[in-house]
Structure 1
Amino acid sequence: MFVAFAALFSSLCSAASALPASPDGSPVLRIQGSNTIGAQLGPALVKGLLEQQGAQAITQHTGARPNETRIVGQLPTGQTVSIDIAAHGSTTGFSALNAGHADLAASSRPIKPGEASELTALGDLHSAEAEQVIAIDGVAVIVHPGNPLRELSTDQLAKVFSGDIRDWEQLGGPAGAIHLYARDQQSGTFDTFNELVLTKAGKALASAAKRFEASETLSDEVSQDRQGIGFIGLPYVHNAKAVAIIDGDSKPMLPSTSLIATEDYPLSRRLYFYLPPGTEQRWAKALVRFAQSPQGQSIVAQNGFVAQTVQAVKVRATPQMPAEYQNLARQAERLSVNFRFAQGSATLDNKARLDLKRVADYLKAHDKLDQKVTLVGFGDAKSDPARAQLLSRLRAMAVRRELMKRQVILRDVLGFGDEMPVATNDGDEGRIKNRRVEVWVE
């Protein structure tokens, strides 16, 4: 499987050279979907790809409708190329693929089973070839900068956005009606919030919520409304204030870069390009390859999202940590990546497969291949704590096997069972977050 994935990555890399212009002057690439991606990051990645191709005079033009953009550049051959981006929400990207109106779907949430089923004629969009994680984001819950509120639990959020809690006084703030702001029904940001907060609590968004297609507009409205609260992708917090989120027994977490990079932040999410497997669309392949490259990930960071570039982070030991974990925190640094597993499977998920290469490259570049690495496994709660600890260690061993194939000799493998949860274990999403493997380097 990993050999095939490496072959795919190699083919994507080779697809970036000598890209052609369209003979009839039509766009060489059509991207539709997420507004979170398409508003800023998508155009920035497209411009980066065109620059890599040697294009000159690159310009960006507003489309016929709001949230539509055309990027135009002139190739070294003298030919003019254009790439179209329509950013009307993640759902619209999959609809456009199905209708043949897009070559690439941008999504701020995973493809839904029903969407994948409708698109089976294009191939398996759950496959490693099709599903490409290009960035990590955190859905930030925002309030007016003058609001004294500092943290909220996901249970409180569900009650607020469903209308069960309607006054700030019920949350310990000054009295006043709560004004709700939310992304529109087509939005992947809304889908993520709905799944991680509302649906999990058996709630639905209150009809009184104001809905927005554009992320920036929503953020600007909340930052000017002292009684407002909304949710938004991390780069769009702007002048509003983000509050810390608690999920189950997790500690309060702000949407910081380090917590989002490891996907420990309760409302963290992945941003995707979906590329029909086996496609001959060379520009689509090239954009995916560029987005995954160090240069592309640099653009991801420049646009306010969290890049998948591996970094070492010092973690402060606290009394709440297990003693052995405290010792590790004092002696080593944690890498900014967690390995996670496909739902209901011991198989590493699509993001983890590329993260293996990123981690191995980092360790090689920093001379850490030989007995400098400790893997730490965690899991969700089980009726038998010993079983939870065993499973957490087995997950770490699964990562160990893959790193050994890349000449990494580990110092130790630890399993801490269901300790230090980062999410509630009440639902599948939370359990998947808790089933993780951390990488520590001395």
Structure 2
Amino acid sequence: MASAPADVTPAPEVRITLAGSTTVQPLVEALAARYRQLHPNITMDIAAGGSVVGINAVHEGRVDIGMASRPLKADEAQGISAVPIASDVLAIIVHPANPVPALSREQLRQIYLGQITNWREVGGDDRPIVPVVREVSSGTRGAFDSLVLDEAQPTASADVQVTAGEVEARVAGDLAAIGYVGFGNLASDVRVLPIDGALPSPTSVHTRQYPLVRPLLLLLGPLSRPEAHAFVEFAVSQAGQTIVARAGWIPNPAPVAVPTPAN
């Protein structure tokens, strides 16, 4: 008579906590959705708050993983392993009939600060420029203000839109408009402008020819548990990077090593 199968002890429930960048949060949620399918015993508590919140929370041991959408400063990086999981790329868009062939980053900066106000100043038609921006809480707005404006405030005459789709629709419907969207939000009814001689693409990002790029990072500290390290390993794995690409981000150009847990 066959013996009864031995009881299988289920894996213990584990709750992984994350906090930080609002830009990284939706990508981590997409990665976490798949990770939970593979590991049903894992729950993920993903909060936002901004990159500084994530950095401080890892330093203080209040979360397992921090999320940041900029390089860490020297004092912030002490004791933290910053693991890149993707690149965030901003595309500059205009109406398809706008004849301006390209802009430099400095010209773009002056347009959004209100110092260049007519397209003829940058080789276009005699037409006032309508800069279009995202609303202030947008992660894309934060990236643009950091990469292009050096944290300065855009001109008060800028046209504010809430979503990437609204920015794209506004630019597609106005020859005078210029806007910015994430690399994953490009549509056929607008034209992407080269910046400093390069168009956004995985190749121009990886070769550092395209300037409007920032890293998306997961942060591990000395108190981060092995389960947190395992999730970060999944994020940089082939399966994780496939999710990154499908979500509209630029994957890592090469394999990334994840540090060994300290505990």
TM norm. shorter chain > 0.5: yes
Paired residue type of 2:237? S
Secondary structure of 2:91's partner? strand
Question: Greater relative contact order: 1 or 2 (C-alpha under 8 angstroms, separation 6 or more)?
Answer: 2
Structure 1 residues 46 and 90: CA distance shift in structure 2, 3 A: same
Structure whose residues are more often helix by fraction: 1
Instruction: Summarize deviations over 1:287-345 as a string: whole Å, max 9, x none.
Output: 211111111112112222222244xxxxxxxxxxxxxxxxxxxxxxxxxxxxxxxxxxx
- Aligned equivalent of 1:263, options 195, 199, 208: 208
Paired residue type of 1:245? I
Normalising by the residue count of structure 2, what TM-score does the alignment of the two structures yield?
0.75
1:381 match? none
Cα distance in 2 for partners of 1:221, 1:104 equals 37
Q: Is the 8 A contact 2:89 2:182 kept in 1?
A: yes
Q: Deviation of residue 82 (structure 1)?
A: 4.0
Normalising by the residue count of structure 1, what TM-score does the alignment of the two structures yield?
0.48
1:62 match? none
Structure 1 unaligned spans of 5+: 1-17, 23-27, 56-74, 76-80, 117-124, 247-251, 311-350, 356-442
Number of matched pairs:
248
Structure 1 residues 244 and 94: CA distance shift in structure 2, 3 A: same
Secondary structure of 1:198's partner? coil
- Aligned equivalent of 2:13, options 4, 9, 21: 21
- Aligned equivalent of 1:242, options 180, 189, 192: 192
Q: Is the 8 A contact 1:294 1:309 kept in 2?
A: no
Structure 2 unaligned spans of 5+: 1-9, 259-263
Identical columns (%): 32
Cα distance in 2 for partners of 1:96, 1:226 equals 45
Q: Deviation of residue 142 (structure 1)?
A: 1.9
Q: Is the 8 A contact 1:35 1:87 kept in 2?
A: yes
Paired residue type of 1:108? S
Cα distance in 1 for partners of 2:168, 2:21 equals 17
- Are residues 1:51 and 2:41 paired? no
Q: Deviation of residue 133 (structure 1)?
A: 0.5
Paired residue type of 2:199? L
Q: Is the 8 A contact 1:182 1:230 kept in 2?
A: yes
Secondary structure of 2:217's partner? strand
Q: Is the 8 A contact 1:92 1:186 kept in 2?
A: no
Structure 1 residues 19 and 147: CA distance shift in structure 2, 3 A: farther
Cα distance in 2 for partners of 1:205, 1:43 equals 31
Cα distance in 2 for partners of 1:109, 1:266 equals 14
Secondary structure of 1:304's partner? coil
2:19 match? 32
Secondary structure of 1:164's partner? coil
Cα distance in 2 for partners of 1:300, 1:52 equals 17
- Aligned equivalent of 1:143, options 91, 94, 103: 94
Q: Deviation of residue 42 (structure 1)?
A: 2.0
Q: How do residues 383-402 of structure 1 correspond to structure 2 at under 5 angstroms? A: none
Cα distance in 1 for partners of 2:162, 2:70 equals 16
Instruction: Summarize deviations over 1:383-405 as a string: whole Å, max 9, x none.
Output: xxxxxxxxxxxxxxxxxxxxxxx
Cα distance in 1 for partners of 2:51, 2:168 equals 19
Structure 1 residues 183 and 85: CA distance shift in structure 2, 3 A: farther
Cα distance in 1 for partners of 2:220, 2:173 equals 39
- Are residues 1:274 and 2:219 paired? yes
Cα distance in 1 for partners of 2:149, 2:139 equals 14
Instruction: Summarize deviations over 1:237-260 as a string: whole Å, max 9, x none.
Output: 3354321011xxxxx100012111
- Are residues 1:293 and 2:241 paired? no
Structure 1 residues 197 and 21: CA distance shift in structure 2, 3 A: same
Secondary structure of 1:50's partner? helix
Q: Is the 8 A contact 1:297 1:309 kept in 2?
A: no
- Are residues 1:109 and 2:70 paired? yes
Aligned-residue CA RMSD (Å)? 3.5
